[in-house]
Structure 1
Amino acid sequence: MHLIKTAEGQQAFKERHADLGQRLRSAFLLFDGNRSLLQVLEATSAMGISKDDILALVSRGWLAEKTGAAVPAAAPVSELQPPALAPAEVDEKSIAGRYQKAYPMAVSITGGLGLKGFRLNLAVEAAMGYEQLVELAPRIRSAAGDKAYAPLHKALFEAEKTQ
């Protein structure tokens, strides 16, 4: 099942509704219609998000099931777009490792932007985990440019090859 945010849900998110705490906000952001419920639950399991938490968001009308045809597999995608992680790739150890590798890079990139990136740098320093850093990735890319962003993208989204 693929869920998407509703207008009511986006408004509740924007207004920081009390029933949408920090844990649920992180999960809420992951529902883009491309990730399945299972993928989001696996990605947020370390935060203690359960299926019941998500179903509560659905019952409030903040999330709804995606309708319509799926995006074709051959659709063109930018080279630096975050890939959808396969369920096998999403484990707590991998996510923690990616965060530990990517966080100093993100701080360095945003810190090098000077006053232009001051607020973004504060947001990166406040990021408490992988999901929050991923949420900031598009803003970092936009502010720093593709060339400076590429190593951070690799640290956040590309799986380590072990031999």
Structure 2
Amino acid sequence: MYFVKTAQGQQAFKERHQDFAQRLRSAFLLFDGKRSLNQVLEATAAMGVTQADVMSLVDKGWLQLPDVAAPGLAPAAVAQPSTSALLEFALPVTDEEQARRRYQQAYPLAVSLTSKLGLKGFRLNLAVEAAMGYAQLVELAPRIRDATGDKAYAALHQALFSQE
């Protein structure tokens, strides 16, 4: 099955709704109508996301099948916030070793970029330093790109999202 985000789901995500646990936020980002449920579950297995968790998002109206056209629900392609558009290109990381390698490669780049921002990027730098894995670093990627600019961000993007 393939799911897409709804406008209601995007709003709940943006407002950090209390029902959006961190692990569900990571899974929610991966639903774009191109990745199957199984692919998303494999990518988020290390975080403990189950099919029941995904179905709870469907029950809340935050995810839907792409061909469903209910009023007030729009596919993510229409309502996607531009700051998180890069997350749609994140490759599902299917094994822990691949996630660990990408994290180890991208983390020093992210710290380097955000430390150069000085006081302007202090909070972002703290968030990067607190990132404990690939998924958390992917979530911070749009904020890093916005703060540093596309040219400086390119190396980090390559480390996080490139196909090996």
Q: Tell me the TM-score normalized by structure 1.
A: 0.76
- AA aligned opposite 1:139: R
Q: CA deviation at 1:40?
A: 1.3
**1:10-69 CA distance string (max 9 Å, x none):** 33334433332121122122223333222211110111111111011101211111128x
Instruction: Please tell me whether the aligned partners of residues 35 and 84 of structure 1 are also in contact (alpha carbons under 8 angstroms).
Output: no
- AA aligned opposite 1:131: A
**Which of the pair is proportionally richer in helix?**
2
Identify the match of residue 138 of structure 1 among 136, 142, 146.
142
Equivalent position of 2:157 in the other structure:
153
Q: CA deviation at 1:155?
A: 1.5
Q: Percent identity?
A: 68
With 148-157 and 93-102 compared, the bigger mean Cα shift is at 148-157
Question: What root-mean-square deviation, in Å, do the aligned CA atoms of Structure 1 and Structure 2 show?
Answer: 2.3
**Which of the pair is proportionally richer in strand?**
1
- What SS is found at the alignment partner of 1:110? helix
Instruction: Please tell me whether the aligned partners of residues 43 and 95 of structure 2 are also in contact (alpha carbons under 8 angstroms).
Output: yes
Equivalent position of 1:3 in the other structure:
3
Instruction: Please tell me whether the aligned partners of residues 3 and 63 of structure 1 are also in contact (alpha carbons under 8 angstroms).
Output: yes
Equivalent position of 1:35 in the other structure:
35
Distance change in 2, residues 1:121/1:7 (3 Å): same
Structure with more contact order per residue of length (Cα contacts < 8 Å, sep ≥ 6): 2
Give matches, 1:84-123, under 5 Å. Answer: 85=91, 90-123=94-127
* Matches of 2:30 and 2:94, distance apart in 1: 14
* Matches of 2:124 and 2:90, distance apart in 1: 24
- AA aligned opposite 1:18: Q
Q: Tell me the TM-score normalized by structure 2.
A: 0.75
* Matches of 2:15 and 2:143, distance apart in 1: 21
Structure 1 segments unaligned to the other structure (5+ residues): 69-80
Aligned residues: 146
Q: CA deviation at 1:84?
A: 5.4
With 101-110 and 25-34 compared, the bigger mean Cα shift is at 25-34
* Matches of 1:34 and 1:135, distance apart in 2: 19
Structure 2 segments unaligned to the other structure (5+ residues): 69-85
**1:101-155 CA distance string (max 9 Å, x none):** 2112101101101122223222222323211211222222232123322221221
- AA aligned opposite 1:145: G
Equivalent position of 1:62 in the other structure:
62
* Matches of 2:59 and 2:141, distance apart in 1: 30
Distance change in 2, residues 1:141/1:14 (3 Å): closer
Equivalent position of 2:51 in the other structure:
51
- AA aligned opposite 2:118: G
